[in-house]
A and B are shown apart, each in its own frame.
Chain A
Amino acid sequence: MNAEPAFAEPLSAAPGLDARSVALRKLVITALEGGGRGHIGSTFSLIEIFRVLYDDVLRYRPDDPAWTDRDRCILSKGHGCLALYALLADKGFFPKEDLSTFCHPTSKLGGHPEYGKIPGVEFSTGALGHGLSAGIGMALAARMRGNGNRVFVVMGDGEINEGSVWEGAMCAAKHGLDNLVALIDYNKLQSYGPTDYVQPLEPLADKWRSFGFAAVEVDGHDVGALRAVLSTMPLEPNRPTAVICHTVKGRGVSYAENKAEWHHKSRLSPKDIADLTRAVENA
């Protein structure tokens, strides 16, 4: 690695969570309790990204999820679905009570989000490296139709190991898709361990720039900073945007933060749920 990244180390000792961030995490815990499992670390790094997208950035109608002019938001790292489910429930795409059915046999809410089952889900994901290309198709369609909607694709840092992401990056830049925003949840831990060990990504922002994107780095838990960045899309005309969101895996649960073993947990006990709730309330 040649350049020292602006955020070389995982974020720590971040400021405490505000009431909304706590409430959203408690919605996630509702689903974790209902399903007895879930990608905890991968979800909690995403919460503020989705909070700002759905509170401040995206145009959508919960009572008309197929509204033509809506902005499209694809969670490409589908295993972080509980963050998306929490926001969709919070916004009224479906009742919050449904969260408790997470992973139940007949629930619409599975361990990865499915298009056609869940109102507000734009694309079925779970296999990694698929969302950006689908988003490119949607962004091209928006351009052809001229209806001005935008496409946001949220990817994981481990996910961008996939070659298909970089095929898509070249394609998006070739077409100058300034209605496309790629957000990277850069929590620096993939399933096995640190991204620096498994597949180093630095210099990450420069990688995206070299592929033709306008890129910016932001603290992915700083709601104000995220809001400021995402309200100015595109960063540059005729270029797609990459927003590198520096995050903490497991953010909000002190004993899970920056720990790869909290990527996913199953067989969550009532005590686990109580501990998670307490931790989030005290974060």
Chain B
Amino acid sequence: MRRTSLDMVYELAKTDDRVVFIGSDLGPGVLDQFREEMPDRFFMEGVSEANIIGMAAGLALEGYVPYVNTIATFLTRRCFEQVAMDVCLHDLPVRLIANGGGFVYAPLGPTHIAIDDIALMRSLPNMTVVSPADAEEMKRAMPQTLDWAHPIYVRLGKGGDPIVSDEDAGFDIGKGIVMRRPGSVLIASSGVMTGRALEAAEMLAKSGVTCGVVHFHTIKPLDADLITDLARGVSSIFTLDEHLRSGGLGSAILETLSDTLGTQMPHVERLGVPDAFTREYGSQDTMMRSYGLQPFQIAETIRRATAADEAA
């Protein structure tokens, strides 16, 4: 997904001379072709996130569309004030391309594990938060970032994630996609959790539970009409966050349904990371398992909950 995203920045830059790329201190060889062909618009500025964001804001004020790329935690926590004031207060078309959203950097520990990035970015007025499901959806997303008039945070997955998105569904910023029609139960997910949601729904189908899946590649602005319509027809919504339970997609859905349906909203259960820093290493997959986010665990959680509902 990261490779696809950066390749798309190169493609966009070739056709639109407003596009500039700013990296911090990325791996050797990143976007070599961009640097060789368009050196004036390629910037590798070192481990200086505050400066990079301010510089991107200055370029955006002059009409450029800067794509800024580094590790998610440093792009959100380290320079939060610059993102808030320089980019969001001025409502500038700066694109923050965040490597390693969620547990991607699990082996590297809590300094690199980005499980608060969505909460931080979602809290900022004018910011758009996008988290595609796979590389194919990323390909559809990136061209839409070119003329979006506001800042965008793009959360990248690990890469090599299974392709689960549907080309026919297209990609419109701010629009959710129903991947599987719900019965009485619905899973809402974003990013690479959508692949896991679909697997869990398939498992549930085999045990007689009809479970829908709605994918929100855009967490902010959330597709309030879609989630409200879907919520009217189900008894339970399970939200999946490769993120803290607070501040992620689940929170966005709760807030939205509280506004639109109030006491008529269905039961919403948020699956994600409790209010604590991670304490283990391993891999994205092992960490997903530790927090009950693998498909069989999601299916089991839903099965138990629906069984309890039926017993009641």
On A, residues with C-beta under 8 Å from B are: 115-116, 122-124, 126-127, 129-130, 132-142, 144-145, 163-164, 167-168, 170-171, 174
Contact = CB atoms under 8 A, between A and B. Distances in A.
Contacts of A138: 58-59, 61-62
B58 A141 contact: yes
Closest 4 CB pairs of A and B: A137-B58, A133-B54, A141-B62, A167-B51
Nearest to B62: A141
B54 A136 contact: yes
A282 to B, nearest CB: 40
Contacts of A129: 50
Interface string B37-69: 000110101101011111111111111101000
Nearest to A131: B54
Given A115-B61, A124-B85, A140-B55, 14 more contacts: A130-B54, A130-B85, A133-B50, A137-B55, A138-B58, A138-B61, A141-B64, A164-B50, A164-B82, A167-B46, A168-B48, A168-B55, A170-B46, A171-B48
A167 B48 contact: yes
Contacts of B45: 171, 174
B64 A133 contact: no
Residue in A130, A138, A142, A168 whose Cβ sees the most chain B Cβ within 10 Å: A130
Contacts of B66: 137
A136 B51 CA distance: 9
Contacts, number: 93
Contact of B54 (A134, A170, A174): A134
Interface residues of B, number: 28
B127 to A, nearest CB: 16
B32 interface: no
B17 to A, nearest CB: 9
A132 B53 CA distance: 11
A270 to B, nearest CB: 35
B50 A137 contact: no
Nearest to B54: A133
Residue in B45, B51, B89 whose Cβ sees the most chain A Cβ within 10 Å: B51
Given A124-B85, A130-B86, A171-B48, A141 B54 contact: no
A137 B54 contact: yes
A127 B53 CA distance: 14
B90 interface: yes
B47 to A, nearest CB: 9
Contact of A116 (B48, B81, B90): B90
Residue in A122, A123, A132, A139 whose Cβ sees the most chain B Cβ within 10 Å: A123
A133 B51 contact: yes
B50 A167 contact: yes
B82 A133 contact: yes
A164 B90 contact: no
B55 A136 contact: yes
Contacts of B51: 133, 136, 164, 167-168, 170-171
Given A116-B90, A127-B85, A171-B48, A133 B53 contact: yes
Contacts of A140: 43, 55, 58-59
B126 to A, nearest CB: 12
A200 to B, nearest CB: 23
A168 B48 CA distance: 8
B62 to A, nearest CB: 3
B149 to A, nearest CB: 14
